[in-house]
Structures are given as structure tokens and as C-alpha cells.
Amino acid sequence: MISFSVLIITHDREELLSKCLDSLKAFTGHWQLIIVANGLPLSSELINKANTLTSECEILTTDHVESPGRSRNLGLERVKYEWVYFLDDDAYLLPRYYEILEPLLKIDKIDVLGGPDSPASGMEPFSEALGVALSSPFCSGSTFARHQSKGRQLIAASEELLTSCNLWVRTRLLKEVKFPENYRRTEETALLLDLKGRQAQMFYHPHLKVGHHRRSTLSSLWRPTFDAGFFRSKVLKEKTLGDGKMFWLPMIFVLLHLLIFITPSFFFTLARLYLGLIVMMSLNLASRRKKISLFGYIAFFHYFIVIVYGMGFLVHRIGLGRRENSRS
């Protein structure tokens, strides 16, 4: 029988965490639940709910808000089963998840396993459109398949396909390889690259899907998007990757805006071409989901995410904003 530990990091999102925990009722057999309350204790109601899911439930509360990597490493110290499942507090299992998962965890060649997320049900239009936009290659580049199913069956995966909100790893691989603790974002990318360097076999299943709630305001979206670019640049630099050229494109996109001061006519020609592309892509995404009313939001996110991500990447490359050592 497969045994596993579920590790959830949470901070001040009790309503979403409650929905996440409800979805874990699908799990059966021997499993352990570890919740790291990052800098803020859980309510007694949520503690009681967690304890009803499994007899092996541990809740850790940190004294202050730790970095994502530090929080996960603290939780990993309590893991005792064959597999550990990293699940975000704002995500939840979709129907048939465990039915699809169980036979996959029994395949010896699989060391790391993941699947996509999809827009959670019941979100506001802003958040739903954000989830849809992330499934576009014009918005999230080569990582778009994290947010929409790719293919129909199990395939070999790279870190570009796998997301930490829905990630299974054999525990024995995490005895020496840890999450970096000086990253605010993309810490799972650094971990997966380290695991790949140790010949870990990574796979992706398109039907191993979770629902994922998205941020609801621009102010809450700005910083994580900026940090995603900043720390993607950091991980590319630290791991000396030669195959990360696609991640430079948002930074180049940012720099192209300087053309407006050099050759305005050429800038506006490029702007019209780009606008045409994102309008066509956004209409396609909105119509496929029968959500034409989301078209404007989806088109806007194509621009906003790329420009803010590119700014973060650029800031790291030119040596500004030494924020990677911050845990706040």
C-alpha cells in the first residue's frame, strides 16, 4: 500500500485552506498531513477539521513569516512516508484525482510527479481571467502547460511543466536536496533542477489536476509577478542553465519600450502587431471557455504579466533590488 505525507504551507487564507482540506477527504490508506502555519496560528475550527482527516496530523506554527523554501524545509523535517505531496493552501483536488494518482505512485521509475492547475470554480471575473490568461503561451511562455492539460497521458517532464502547487516527490530524494531558503519565488524550480541533476525521473500527467484560486487585485498580483521574474533570473544564473533563453524574452519586451524614445513610428508598428496577437489569443481563450465577458481582462493580463515579470528579470540582471535574502 502506498503511504504519503501531504505538506501545506499557509498564511492568513483560512477560507481557502478550509476548501483545500475538504478536498483531501478523497485520500485513503496511510497518510500524514503536515500544515505549516507561516507566522499566523490557525483557528481552532481549522485545526479540528485537519485532525478529522487523518490520525497523523501535525501543525507547526512559525514565530514569524518565513520564506517559502524555509517553510517547506521545516515541514519536510516531519515527513515520514514514502511520498511527499506539496499542495498550496489556495488549491484543491478535483474529482477523480486520487483515482488517477494511486496507480502512478506505484510505478518504480517515477521519482517526481505533477500535473496542471486550472481556474477554481466560483472566482470573481478578475481572478478567473487571470487563471485563463496563465494558460496562454503568450502570457506564461514555456510554462503555460502548468495551467492547461498537455496531451492525454503520462509524459516525461522538465521543471517547466511542474508546479509546486501540485507536486509529488519521493521522500528519499529530499534527504540531501532542500528548497533554497533565500528565494521569495521559484524555489521549487531550483529544487527540481537539483533533483534533475541527481538523475531523478520526473513525469507529468494532464489529468492529475487541481483547482487553483488566483489573486483578486492588481496590488496583490504585482509583487509575486515581479518576484517570479527576479528569481527566475536568479535560478538561471545560479544553475548556469544554457536552455533558458525563452525566459529572457519578457526582459527584452520591457527594453523594446525604449524604442518609443528612439524611433516612435517603429515602436507603434510593433505595438500594433503585438496588440493584434494578444487580441486574437484572448478571444480564442475566452470563446473556448464560453467566457467572452472575460476577454478584456484576459487581454490586459497578457501585457501586465509579461511586462512586470520582465521588469523583475531585468532588475536582477542589472544587480538592483537585492531582495533575494529577504524572508519577509
Per-residue pLDDT of the chain (328 residues; tens, 9 = 90+): 789 999 999 999 999 999 999 999 999 888 999 999 999 999 999 999 999 999 999 999 999 999 999 999 999 999 999 999 999 999 999 999 999 999 999 999 999 999 999 999 999 999 999 999 999 999 999 899 899 898 889 999 999 999 999 999 999 999 989 999 999 999 999 999 999 999 999 999 999 999 999 999 999 999 999 999 999 999 998 886 656 778 999 999 999 999 999 999 999 999 999 999 999 999 999 999 999 999 999 999 999 999 999 999 999 999 876 544 444 3
Cell 517532464 sits on residue: 157
Cell 508546479 sits on residue: 163
Are 138 and 302 within 8 A, CB to CB? yes
* Domains parsed from the chain with CATH numbers: 4-215 (3.90.550.10), 219-317 (no CATH)
Residue 112, judged by CB atoms within 10 A of its CB (0-12, 13-18, 19+), counts as buried
Exposure of 53 in the CB half-sphere (CA atoms within 13 A): 25
- State the pTM of this model: 0.92
Q: Residue 84: which residues within 8 A CB-CB, separation 6 or more?
A: 4, 5, 6, 7, 76, 168, 169, 171, 174
Phi, psi of 83 (to 5 degrees): -120, 150
Neighbours of 177 (CB within 10 A): 16
- Report the alpha-carbon distance of residue 269 to residue 43 in Å, rounded: 55
| Strand ranges, E, within the chain | 4-10, 31-37, 57-61, 83-87, 91-93, 112-114, 117-119, 155-156, 166-170, 202-204, 210-212
Torsion angle of alpha carbons 287, 292, 294, 298, nearest 10°? 40
DSSP summary character for residue 125: H
Q: CA nearest 165: which of 79, 218, 92?
A: 92
Q: CA nearest 231: which of 90, 134, 325, 131?
A: 325
Cell 478578475 sits on residue: 126
- Report the alpha-carbon distance of residue 20 to residue 210 in Å, rounded: 10
